[in-house]
C-alpha cells in the first residue's frame, strides 16, 4: 500500500489521528541529528508525518535542516507530500482563517542549504522549477476541497522570508509589488529539495494574520491573536490533506 506524507508546520507538531503509531528516527547524510518520523494509519491510509520544526526542541525557520527532513521523508517513497504552512495575508480581501493552495513561490531567504548538489557529484542536478508545486497534486487538493464543500483560495504566490522575525511594513509593500500574496518562512528550500528528489509536493496554507502594515495589523501584529485562527484552519487543512490522499489512493 502506498505511503502518503504530511508535513506539519507551527500549528501541528503531532498527528493525534494516527493509529498504530510508530516513531522512527532516520539517520541522514545531512547532519548528525536524526530526523523523527511518525508513521501510522488513518482511515486505511498509510500516513508518514514529519513535524517540520521538530517535536521537542523547536527549530526556527532559518535553522531547520530542510535537506535532512526531505531526504528522510523520501526514504518512505511517498506517493504524495502535502506541506502545511501558516502565512500572513498581503491582500486585504484574504480573510484570517482562510485556507490557500498557492501555485507559485518567491524566495527571499538567504544562507539556507537549498540543494543536494554539493559540488562533488559527476553531474549537476538542474531542476525545472517553473511551477514549484506539483500541478496534479495541487489539482487534487482543489478537487478535494470541492468534495468537502470547504472554501479555499485557489492559487497565489507564497513569499518565503528568512524569519524568525516578522516582516517590516516596507518589506510587505515590496512583496506586494513583486506579486506576493502570502508571507511565510518555510516552503523554501523545502519545495525545491522535494523537486530534486522527484517527490510530488504541494502546500496548503493557513492564513493566521494580515501581513505587517496591512489592515488590522497596521499598528503591529499580536501573535496571541493568531492562535485561534491557526487552530481552526490547521484542523481543516489536515482534513483536506487526508481527503486528497484518499482520492489519490482510490
State pLDDT tens for residues 114-143: 999 988 878 888 999 999 999 999 999 999
pLDDT digits (tens, 9 = 90+) for 48-71: 999 998 877 789 999 999 999 999
pLDDT digits (tens, 9 = 90+) for 87-123: 999 999 999 999 999 999 999 999 999 999 988 878 8
| pLDDT confidence of residue 228 | 74
Buried b (16+ CB within 10 A) or exposed e, 49-67: bbbbbbeeeebebbebbbb
Average pLDDT over residues 218-242: 78
Question: CB-based contacts of 96: which residues, under 8 Å, 6+ apart?
Answer: 89, 207, 208, 209, 210, 216, 226, 229
> Given the C-alpha cell 516552503, which residue does it identify?
187
Is it true that domain 3-249 has CATH number 3.40.50.1580? yes
- Looking at per-residue pLDDT, the higher value among 250 and 248 belongs to 248
Low-confidence winner among 5-19, 150-164, 189-203 (lowest mean pLDDT)? 5-19
Q: Taking CA 85 as the corner, what is the angle to CA 12 and CA 194, rounded to the nearest 5 degrees?
A: 105
Q: Is the pLDDT of residue 217 over 60?
A: no
- DSSP for residue 226: G
- Boundaries of every domain in the chain: 3-249
27 with 69: CB under 8 angstroms? no
pLDDT > 70 fraction of the chain, expressed in percent and rounded: 95
What does the pLDDT read at residue 148?
A: 96
For the record, the C-alpha cell of 44 comes out as 486505511
CA atoms of 175 and 27, how far apart (whole Å)? 37
Between 116 and 20, where is the model more confident? 116
> What pTM does this model have?
0.93
Looking at every residue in the chain, the average pLDDT score rounds to 92
Amino acid at each position: 500500500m502506498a505511503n502518503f506524507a504530511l508535513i506539519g508546520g507551527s500549528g501541528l507538531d503531532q498527528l493525534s489521528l494516527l493509529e498504530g503509531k510508530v516513531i522512527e528516527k532516520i539517520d541522514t547524510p545531512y547532519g548528525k541529528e536524526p530526523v523523527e518520523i511518525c508513521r501510522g494509519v488513518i482511515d486505511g491510509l498509510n500516513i508518514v508525518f514529519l513535524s517540520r520544526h521538530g517535536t521537542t526542541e523547536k527549530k526556527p525557520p532559518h535553522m531547520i535542516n530542510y535537506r535532512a527532513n526531505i531526504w528522510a521523508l523520501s526514504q518512505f517513497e511517498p506517493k504524495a507530500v502535502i506541506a502545511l504552512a501558516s502565512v500572513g495575508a498581503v491582500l486585504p480581501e484574504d480573510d484570517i482563517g482562510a485556507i490557500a493552495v498557492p501555485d507559485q513561490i518567491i524566495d527571499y531567504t538567504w544562507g539556507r542549504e537549498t540543494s543536494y548538489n554539493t559540488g562533488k557529484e559527476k553531474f549537476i542536478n538542474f531542476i525545472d522549477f517553473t511551477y514549484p508545486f506539483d500541478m496534479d497534486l495541487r489539482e487534487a487538493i482543489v478537487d478535494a476541497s470541492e468534495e468537502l464543500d470547504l472554501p479555499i483560495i485557489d492559487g497565489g504566490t507564497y513569499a518565503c522570508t528568512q524569519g524568525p522575525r516578522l516582516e517590516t511594513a516596507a518589506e510587505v509593500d515590496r512583496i506586494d509589488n513583486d506579486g506576493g500574496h502570502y508571507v511565510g518562512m518555510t516552503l523554501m528550500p523545502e519545495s525545491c529539495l522535494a523537486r530534486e528528489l522527484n517527490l510530488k509536493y504541494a502546500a496548503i496554507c493557513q492564513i493566521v494574520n494580515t501581513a505587517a502594515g496591512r489592515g488590522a495589523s497596521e499598528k503591529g501584529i499580536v501573535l496571541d491573536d493568531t492562535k485561534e485562527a491557526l487552530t481552526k484552519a490547521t484542523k481543516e487543512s489536515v482534513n483536506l490533506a487526508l481527503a486528497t490522499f484518499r482520492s489519490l489512493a482510490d
